[in-house]
């Protein structure tokens, strides 16, 4: 049969079929190249390996990394599981080989259901309860604000139902801060976790600078005392020797000798009031030592001490 214009219909059908075949081949090649490109792009980012031995932390870190990768690469959902499962090893790989057939047969199986299956396997109910309890009991304590924030984020992902909104996350984070920082926040209301974290981190940095200044002053005091400690020891030793030359029957001798020993052996301290007290006591001892020695020489033992003052005896 010949169509109008003298072109055989069979020839037209063949030409159309050839064009269709070329288009199909091009589409297949494009799809294959895209899959290859995705695999290479994922590999270049060196994603983590999941072996199933690291507990919930390892699992959540692994899932989080692939969540970021798939979002960044705009990866189609049907490609996510094949790409991610390539990075399963050890126990996790063995689990996948056993569960794959059953999971793939489920309607709508994809990345989200794959993550749920992994969590059901490696995140049993008792462990969920334990992590939730850790999150509820978390406090800053001796941690810095940044360390507390990282721990808060780490545990929060295991118990999302405890703080489901940004306001509740902010409130729980604030309640775990030290009382000093809570007071410095001044009762402000925060609408997001990042907001309260930023404010608390700023106040914490200010407090550390203040503490650093106080520590600097203490170090100066300690350095000053250390430079004087040798002189104090020498002076005190001489004082004791002088006191021992006085009759042991003199009441001031029995008082000043142990006091002097205490003064020269008192540990160096950053407490300024204590330092001043020690220096004052030693000065008093030296003055009294000189006075007692003078009286002893002048009166040849014919004197007595009462209430830290010498008076002549009346015969």
Three-state secondary structure string covering 175-239: HCCCHHHHHHHCCCCCCCHHHHHHHHHHHHHHHHHHHHHHHHHHHHHHHHHHHHHHHHHHHHHHH
> Does residue 38 contact residue 70 with C-beta atoms inside 8 Å?
no
CA angle 109, 110, 115 (to 5 degrees): 105
Q: Read off the pLDDT of residues 252-297 as tens digits, 9 standing for 90 and up.
A: 555 655 666 565 555 555 455 555 565 566 666 666 665 655 555 5
Q: Read off the pLDDT of residues 174-216 as tens digits, 9 standing for 90 and up.
A: 999 999 999 999 888 899 999 999 999 999 999 888 887 666 6
pTM over 0.95: no
């Amino acid at each position: 049969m010949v169509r109008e214009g003298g072109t055989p219909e069979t020839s037209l059908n063949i030409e159309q079929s050839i064009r269709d075949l070329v288009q199909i081949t091009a589409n297949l090649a494009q799809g294959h190249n895209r899959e290859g490109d995705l695999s290479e792009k994922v590999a270049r980012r060196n994603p983590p390996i999941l072996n199933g031995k690291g507990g919930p932390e390892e699992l959540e870190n692994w899932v989080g990394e692939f969540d970021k990768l798939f979002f960044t690469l705009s990866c189609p959902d049907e490609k996510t599981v094949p790409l991610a499962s390539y990075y399963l090893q050890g126990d996790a790989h063995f689990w996948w080989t056993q569960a794959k057939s059953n999971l793939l047969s489920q309607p709508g199986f994809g990345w989200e259901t794959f993550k749920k299956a992994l969590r059901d396997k490696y995140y049993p109910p008792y462990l969920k309860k334990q992590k939730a309890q850790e999150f509820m009991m978390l406090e800053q304590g001796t941690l810095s604000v940044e360390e507390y924030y990282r721990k808060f984020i780490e545990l929060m992902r295991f118990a999302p139902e405890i703080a489901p909104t940004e306001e509740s996350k902010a409130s729980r984070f604030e309640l775990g801060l030290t009382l000093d920082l809570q007071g410095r926040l001044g009762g402000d209301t925060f609408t997001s976790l990042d907001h309260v974290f930023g404010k608390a981190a700023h106040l914490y940095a200010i407090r550390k600078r203040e503490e650093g200044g106080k520590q600097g002053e203490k170090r100066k005091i300690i350095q000053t005392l250390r430079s004087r400690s040798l002189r104090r020891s020498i002076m005190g030793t001489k004082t004791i020797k002088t006191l021992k030359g006085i009759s042991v029957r003199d009441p001031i001798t029995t008082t000043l000798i142990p006091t002097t020993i205490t003064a020269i052996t008192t540990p160096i301290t950053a407490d300024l009031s204590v330092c001043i007290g020690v220096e004052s006591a030693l000065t008093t001892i030296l003055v009294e030592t000189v006075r007692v020695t003078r009286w002893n020489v002048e009166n040849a033992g014919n004197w007595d001490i009462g209430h830290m003052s010498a008076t002549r005896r009346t015969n």
